[in-house]
Amino acid sequence: MNEQSAIGRLGIFGGSFDPPHKAHISLASCAIEQLQLDRLLVIPTGDAWHKTRHLTLAPHRLAMTRLAFADMPKAAVDSREIDRHGPTYTFETLEEIAQEFPQAKLFLCVGGDQAKNFTTWHRWKDILNRVTLVVAFRPEDKTAVHAVDHAQWHNGLPHGAIRLEMPNLAVSATDIRLQLTQSDTFPSELPKGVCEYIQQHSLYKNDR
């Protein structure tokens, strides 16, 4: 039995990871445990067509993501979207993964903020036919009853979608970047290895 065929339940967790923080790690850990995943692919985005801001250079985001998830045995950082030239689409990534792991049941893990914009994604209906959608809500999303649901799904999340139970970690990469531009103190929400990498490469300081 090869490695691919041994993977029965495979999670996919994409994002800009700019920078990766403890809420990302918590989501990954909760997904592995609650979904009983054999593996979780953590995939930093490449040329993100939907982003309105410039991302930190891809090699830095990839290196930081590898540091952030280094101590999570079932998580594997996957560089395919960074390696791909031109705009990168989740559907294309899922198609590749499905071919590589033909026996696996696929779970696409997204945050509540991503879920709100899901119907703007390229071929989003085809994505729902390919994977089980897993939505992790932030604490502020939970306080608004069905905040994501009625905004786009009308009668709730798509049939078969799963809500991931998350601890109350109100962490935002946007807030972390802002703090890094304004201070030399590293936020406690950043893993130690990521802090050291940011300091070594003087990331996020040019925005001051």
3-state secondary structure of 195: helix
Is the pLDDT assigned to residue 57 strictly greater than 90?
yes
pLDDT at 132: 96
Q: What is the pLDDT of residue 6?
A: 83
pLDDT > 90: what percent of the chain?
Answer: 63
Beta-carbon contacts of residue 130 (< 8 Å; ≥ 6 apart) = 91, 94, 95, 98, 106
Identify the CATH number of the domain defined by range 4-201.
3.40.50.620
CA-to-CA distance for 104 and 10, rounded, in angstroms?
6
**All structural domains of the chain with their residue ranges:** 4-201
Write the pLDDT tens digit of every residue in 62-92: 999 999 999 999 999 999 999 998 788 899 9
Per-residue confidence band for 207, with pLDDT thresholds at 50, 70 and 90:
low
Answer whether 176's CB lies under 8 Å from 22's CB: no
pLDDT confidence of residue 197? 97
Mean pLDDT of 85-106: 93
Is the CB of residue 158 less than 8 Å from the CB of residue 131?
A: no
Q: Which residue has the higher pLDDT, 92 or 152?
A: 92
pLDDT in tens, 159-181: 778 999 888 777 889 999 999 99
**Which one, of 45, 44, 11, lies nearest residue 28 by Cα?**
11
Q: Provide the mean pLDDT of the chain.
A: 86
Segment 134-142 shows an average pLDDT of: 71
Which one is predicted more confidently, 6 or 8? 8
Give the whole-angstrom CA distance, residue 192 versus residue 176. Answer: 14
The sheet that has 132-136: what strands, in order across it?
75-77, 39-44, 9-15, 105-111, 132-136, 162-164
Distance (Å, whole) CA 58 – CA 30: 26
Output phi, psi for 198, to 5 deg: -60, -45
The 3-state secondary structure of 133-186, one letter per residue:
EEEECCHHHHHCCCCCHHHHHCCCCCCCCEEECCCCCCCCHHHHHHHHHHCCCC
Whether residue 143 is predicted with pLDDT greater than 60 in this model: the reply is no
Asked which of 21-35, 108-122, 142-156 is least confident by mean pLDDT, the reply is: 142-156
